[in-house]
Amino acid sequence: MGTTDRQQSHTTDRANYLEQASEALLAGLTREGVIAQLIGRIRRDQGYLAYRRASGRRTRYDEQVTSGLRAIALAVCWLEEAPGDSAMWGARVRRGTLGAPPGGWGTGR
């Protein structure tokens, strides 16, 4: 995959998750709700992995799930620690400015 393809893929991915985030905010999902959803996802995936181990049917996808669990767990920790302002995000959805954080995306990506 070339640089242009990766950039286009990243742009598409960002548009997809921002659309999902906008819908979640408009539906009233709160910071606490997000944390609860992420913890639920961790529990479901742990159950899936335990079942796969018990049945002896491990695949490469299981490794991807394990890696994803680590990222989700870290996101939960960060969400629990970081100050949040759900009202700010809701206002940005209504204004149509959810696509970038208040200070912009920066150059560190």
Dihedral of alpha carbons 45, 14, 22, 19, sign: negative
- At residue 71, the pLDDT reads 93
User: Could you report the per-residue pLDDT of 27-72, keeping only the tens digit for each?
Assistant: 999 989 999 999 999 999 999 999 999 999 988 899 999 999 999 9
Q: Residue 85: is its pLDDT beyond 70? A: no
Question: Based on the number of CB atoms within 10 Å of its own CB, is 24 exposed (0-12), middle (13-18) or buried (19 or more)?
Answer: middle
Query: Mean pLDDT score of the chain, rounded to an integer?
Result: 79
Residues 6+ apart with CB under 8 A from 38: 72, 75, 76, 79
Each domain of the chain, given as residue ranges in start order, spans: 20-81
CA–CA dist 109, 102 (Å, integer): 16
Query: Is the pTM for the entire model greater than 0.85?
Result: no
